[in-house]
Each structure stands twice: as structure tokens, then as C-alpha cells.
């Protein structure tokens, strides 16, 4: 009597879109965009390429979806206190994006690409809406809403991008360079400058090795908020 062959693990596994996206984020976190391929996904999930394309589309669509998923989660962060001010809200969402990109370095490049290529997409709209509502709540005149929100968003993305490892042309940059060593070498180079020609750079050279990235980031937010207060 013939017996039915036992189904393989591949056919037993029912993949969801969430599983694919979660695994894609894991691959991106481990090795950057170069590590995310359809082949790597199929091997990790023990499935066929058809299942990947069915649920999320091609690789570019998967990258966009992974970006949207991670950013959307960051934008749900809210202040701990119930009576939060607009300034509190802005600092919370700014730090949420800062910390998320620190956790997912590949995200910095993808986030900027989303803003540029898809201004009506959920990532761009989500960030501007969350920031823009607080700009309005600050009492900034409506005529300045776009400029004020854009200034905040541009500062946030520029600052977090500088602190992340941007993929692309990184010639001359060690991929796993130690932060302290890098900052120490930079401080020494600045201190070696002629103080008469570069008095400012010479004066701040000792600070670069001691600064905290998150505190510096918040200082920048405070500077922007101080400027917005003058528009009211």
C-alpha cells in the first residue's frame, strides 16, 4: 500500500507579510542593504522566491516597506507625561527617530530616499504630520508652517544621518571605525591647526572627544525651537 510522502518544512510553513518584513529588517541590521537579497530571504525563511514577490513585491519595494515599518513604529512614541508641551512632543519624536536610526544604521539612507522620491508616501507624510502639528500648537503663524516644519525635519534627518553609517561612497572611512578613536584623532588634528588662522576650530578641539551625540542633538532641537518662538 502506497504511503503519502510527508510534506516538507517549506510547504508546511505559512508565511505572512509581517514575517518577511521582520526577517528583512534582521538582514539589513546585520549586514546593511547588501545583505538583503531575495536569495538570502528565501534561505532564511525556507520558502520560494514566489512567496516573497507575492507578499511584498521586488527588492526595492521590500526596502521601502521595511523603512515604512520601522519609521512608523518610531513615530508612535509619545511623551511619558500626560501634560506634554509641543516642545516635549517634538523632542520625543526627534529622539525616537535618532535612536531608531542608531539601532538600524541602514535606515538613514533609505529614509532620505523616501523623502526625496516619495513625498506623498506614508514615511514623508507621517514625519511631517507629527512634527507639523506641534509647530501649529506652538503658535507659529500658518504662513510659516511649511518652512518651520521643514527646518525641523531637515535638521533631524541631517543630524541622525551624520551619526549613522551612510551607505554609498564611504571611501576613506573605515566601516567599523571606533568612535572614540575617530573623535580622538579628529581632536588632535584640530589642535594641531594654527590657532591664529583657525581660532574657533582650535578652541573647540577639546570638546569633540567629550560630547554626547544625543545631548548635542537635543541642543540643536532647542536652537531651532528658539528660532521658531521668534515667529510667533
Q: Three-state SS string across 21-67, please?
A: HHHHHHHHHHHCHHHCCHHHHHHHHCCCHHHHHHHHCCHHHHHHHHH
Is residue 1 domain-resident?
Answer: no
- In the chain, what's the furthest Cα-to-Cα distance? 95
pLDDT of residue 6: 43
50 with 84, same domain? Answer: no
pLDDT of residue 43: 92
Is residue 8 domain-resident?
Answer: no
Cα dist from 184 to 32, 208, 209, whole Å? 27, 8, 6
Q: Is 84 left (phi over 0), alpha (psi -120 to 50) or beta?
A: beta
76 with 184, same domain? Answer: yes
Q: What is the DSSP letter of 4?
A: P
Torsion, Cα of 54, 124, 28, 161 (10° steps):
170
Average pLDDT over residues 46-53: 88
Residue % of the chain over a pLDDT of 70: 88
Per-residue pLDDT tens digits for 4-44:
444 444 444 568 899 999 999 999 999 999 999 999 999 99
Higher pLDDT, 74 or 11: 74
pLDDT of residue 5: 44
Is residue 5 domain-resident?
Answer: no
pLDDT of residue 158: 87
Q: Taking the model in full, what pTM does it have?
A: 0.79
pLDDT of residue 116: 86
113 with 30, same domain? Answer: no
**Nearest 5 degrees, angle CA 192-CA 179-CA 97?**
125
48 with 153, same domain? Answer: no
Is residue 2 domain-resident?
Answer: no
197 with 124, same domain? Answer: yes
44 with 159, same domain? Answer: no
pLDDT of residue 209: 78
**Nearest 5 degrees, angle CA 109-CA 112-CA 117?**
120
Average pLDDT over residues 58-86: 91
Per-residue pLDDT tens digits for 78-94:
998 777 899 999 999 99
pLDDT of residue 232: 77
pLDDT of residue 165: 53
Is residue 63 domain-resident?
Answer: no
Give 112's pLDDT tier (boundaries 50, 70, 90): confident
pLDDT of residue 13: 52
131 with 86, same domain? Answer: yes
* Domain residue limits at 51: 13-57
Is residue 118 domain-resident?
Answer: yes
- Count: domains in the chain: 2
Per-residue pLDDT tens digits for 123-170:
999 999 999 999 999 999 999 999 999 999 999 988 887 776 544 444
**CATH code: domain of residue 102:** 1.10.357.10
24 with 45, same domain? Answer: yes
Give 219's pLDDT tier (boundaries 50, 70, 90): very high
**CATH code: domain of residue 37:** 1.10.10.60
Average pLDDT over residues 96-110: 92
CB-CB neighbours of 38 under 10 Å: 14
Is residue 156 domain-resident?
Answer: yes
How remote is the C-alpha of 125 from its chain's centroid? 15
Q: Does residue 184 carry a pLDDT above 90? A: no
84 with 26, same domain? Answer: no
109 with 150, same domain? Answer: yes
130 with 222, same domain? Answer: yes
74 with 24, same domain? Answer: no
Distance CA 148, CA 181 (A): 37
Average pLDDT over residues 100-118: 90
Q: Does residue 172 carry a pLDDT above 70? A: no
Is residue 135 domain-resident?
Answer: yes
Amino acid at each position: 500500500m502506497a504511503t503519502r510522502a510527508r510534506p516538507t518544512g517549506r510547504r508546511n510553513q505559512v508565511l505572512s507579510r509581517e514575517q518577511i518584513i521582520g526577517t528583512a529588517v534582521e538582514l539589513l541590521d546585520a549586514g546593511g542593504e547588501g545583505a538583503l537579497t531575495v536569495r538570502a530571504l528565501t534561505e532564511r525563511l525556507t520558502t520560494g522566491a514566489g512567496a516573497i514577490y507575492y507578499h511584498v513585491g521586488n527588492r526595492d519595494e521590500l526596502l521601502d516597506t521595511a523603512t515604512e515599518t520601522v519609521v512608523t513604529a518610531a513615530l508612535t512614541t509619545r511623551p511619558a507625561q500626560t501634560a506634554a508641551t509641543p516642545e516635549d512632543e517634538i523632542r520625543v519624536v526627534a529622539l525616537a527617530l535618532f535612536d531608531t536610526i542608531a539601532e538600524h544604521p541602514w535606515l538613514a539612507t533609505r529614509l532620505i530616499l523616501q523623502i526625496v522620491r516619495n513625498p506623498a508616501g506614508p514615511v514623508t507624510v507621517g514625519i511631517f504630520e507629527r512634527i507639523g502639528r506641534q509647530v501649529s500648537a506652538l503658535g507659529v503663524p500658518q504662513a510659516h508652517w511649511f518652512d518651520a516644519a521643514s527646518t525641523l525635519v531637515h535638521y533631524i534627518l541631517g543630524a541622525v544621518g551624520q551619526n549613522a553609517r551612510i551607505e554609498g561612497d564611504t571611501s576613506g572611512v573605515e566601516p567599523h571605525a571606533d568612535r572614540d578613536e575617530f573623535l580622538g584623532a579628529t581632536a588632535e588634528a584640530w589642535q594641531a591647526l594654527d590657532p591664529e588662522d583657525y581660532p574657533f576650530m582650535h578652541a573647540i578641539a577639546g570638546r569633540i572627544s567629550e560630547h554626547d551625540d544625543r545631548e548635542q542633538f537635543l541642543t540643536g532641537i532647542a536652537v531651532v525651537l528658539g528660532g521658531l518662538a521668534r515667529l510667533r
